[in-house]
Copies of this chain bind each other. A is one copy, B any other.
Amino acid sequence: VVETANAIQMARPARPAEPGRASHPAPLQPLLRRWEAVPGLSERDRGLIGALPVSLREVRAGHDIGREGDRSSQCCLVVKGVVCRYRVTPSGKRQILSFHLPGELVDLQGLLLGAMDHSVAALTRGEVGLIPHHALRHLCAEAPRVVDALWRETLIDAAIGREWTVGLGRRTARARIAHLLCEFVIRSQAAGLAEGRSCEFPISQSELGDASGLSNVHVNRVLQDLRGAGLVALSGSHLAVLDWPGLARAGEFDPAYLHLPE
């Protein structure tokens, strides 16, 4: 699935990135795809975005991309794979704060605030593109609508974070997991990485636990429950939603907070 989608993206006429950087084909393509429906961006804006300097970097599953306390000088664009942000409490427990699919910018916070207050890690093998802050700032000065687009990204990110907060505070384990699965499928669809209601789901049960505030053991039991109820098929790293209305009901899922274009 992933490969097919990428092939389609790469087949589009892509403005090449700055010479000397980004020898791989158009790492900014997923971002431009994501911003296709963002209102107010002119063709010139999109051209400038596509010309941003990006240095592509392979990341290994489980490895950190940035750490709490760092002062980074570049933003991280997910090109391939799944990336997450997380924090570890003094007592050693990890809370995953967000997942990020190809086309999403993970680090925008660093552009305006000082030290990172959380870490960033790759959940799977993948590729990220690193974009220097100064290039982004320069672009923002040239093209004010790009600021809106970036700001918008941080607002949507915050909205998703709030939805997670609601889940952790007020939903049962079953509803939390169901909600998380719904969100993941919808966002995969939006990123062009799904086929109908199924997609790659390269997230272990431990990681699911760290995202949903549950133990890996309980995540396992809840997943069996959801499978048993005929709502999902989840095996290996592939997720298929068998009963979408049922799963959405179980997770109290309403996609409004994702602010996706119609």
Contacts and interface: CB of A to CB of B under 8 A. Distances in A.
Interface in A158-211: 158-159, 161-166, 168-171, 210
A91 B179 CA distance: 14
| Chain B CB within 10 Å, residue with most, of A90, A108, A161, A171 | A161
Contacts of A156: 113
Summarize A's interface: helix, strand, loop or mixed: helix
Contacts of A171: 89
Copies in the complex: 2
A170 B89 contact: yes
A150 B113 CA distance: 12
B165 A164 contact: yes
Contacts of A117: 159, 162-163, 256-257, 259
The size class of the interface chain A forms with chain B is 35 or more
A109 B152 CA distance: 8
A83 to B, nearest CB: 15
A159 B118 CA distance: 9
A89 B166 contact: yes
A163 B108 CA distance: 17
Given A87-B162, A150-B151, 19 more contacts: A85-B162, A94-B170, A108-B155, A112-B148, A112-B152, A112-B155, A113-B152, A113-B155, A113-B159, A114-B259, A117-B163, A117-B259, A118-B162, A144-B147, A151-B151, A154-B158, A161-B161, A169-B212, A169-B213
Interface of A: 85, 87, 89-91, 93-95, 97, 108-109, 112-115, 117-118, 141, 144, 147-148, 150-152, 154-159, 161-166, 168-171, 210, 212-213, 252, 256-257, 259
